[in-house]
Structure 1
């Protein structure tokens, strides 16, 4: 029997307290915990064995003392979400949580400063020039300049003229603009900020071994052909590097390890191989060709790894703005 209070750990105290409180109160407390906490306490409960009534009484006295003396509470996103779910439906809670989890900042203007300028410009181009002028006057000049540069030129000039003529903005006008931004723009932004599930799976499929990818894709086509087609369209493959412009190919060539490039090109189409060779000096192309000939047969696994290395390298360069990648359909230019 456990009767020495000094040997009781914190987790054991929590487990004992929950058992003492009864099912209804314990269930309510468990609903506020994450899975790891529930797992740890449940495992401890199962291993407690017999505990003396004196020990339980001491535990309850200590708990009461600590609760009455504490002056702090912990508030976070998870606790807030759990509390809201008690009083309203999940869709409303999701909308509220998406908004408060949106771009960081205390005021609307601070939140707006964290919005990508192309996203903001795309929204503002459909607003009245006077409204845009008010908004641009409230955000940082460097951010405003980037947004202004992305607006259609005639519209941008209208905004500039209104900004030049603008005097102090009345508080009720500013409040209306802020309310519109919060209700229409920021809430939609938070809702659409979630990454598309097909885009996420396309990135995962990109990193799969080719035989595994082929197997998974075949199975997915049998279960959901529409999703399989969407993922295929979003996947960026080694052959998609054929859509790079000459400057992009040269930038990639200067960054890539030559031995990995040679292995990657060993399994490439003639068209893609020629694209890379045509962007090398004649001497470099000749050496690369000779190296590829000297390799002899190369394992498919090694080719896949080398080609994945080249794709990853291209995406890294695109992230830095040094090259521009096109999607696999070739419809739009996308920077990953």
Structure 2
């Protein structure tokens, strides 16, 4: 009798505790209790929003004893023999999610809801979507130092188009300042970005970035050979040291001939056959032979077959893009220390 009276309050206490949990809290508790293998299989059936909600409810769980879990399992009409106590439900639930989901999806579930810096689009992303003509017209009225900073924050291909559209004298001044631009005070960067939003985007992020010879060369490498040569010729105000350091980092498709045979073999191992064939369209016979001699026997036959066929719908833009792709791969291999881009002066 005494035993029964002692047991009854305990049962009531257990029932009362479980009854205070919400449905999502109970679901989170069950997932934690059944262990990682089983929970991992179940979690894959939830969408991202459901997982966020469950993760949030898991954080609110109080420590749950095995007796509490027995009552909870009965409510779910399942056949668990024994539940596992949870004293750190939030951490264990996060562990389950991270085991069951790819890292990027799990990170998205647990990232903080309030991230002001991600709410507003970067001013640089906004500028990159503007019509190039309007952006060039605006920049042409700015001080070269301002232009240099703005260009240093934009993608290289967009920066290249801006450079080409600037008047020659202004272009030279901008390049000179871009080479030696230093850290920009956060307050000044914030102010400039606010002005750009107001003037160009009609609607505040900061972060100074250094722009040196490598970045300028990367911009120039987005141009075709004629544009690159015209731009280099306009840089009369630069010191010989600056010009030499830029030239050392310049590379386009025609410069493949200055690579060593070993470097060419490594380069074309990284390039798709179709891109090689497209890039060789319209190239002089000497350059074609240089490239073809760097391919495997099978690769050479495939490229020669492509070149012998009609050009079809391959445009001059397709050819230019393929050549830039090959040049970018060469530059990437050089930056990784796999090959060396010997300068023209070194080969003469």
Asked if these proteins are the same fold (TM beyond 0.5), I'd say no
- With normalisation by structure 2, the TM-score equals 0.35
Q: TM-score, normalised by structure 1?
A: 0.36
Q: Which structure carries more helix by proportion?
A: 1
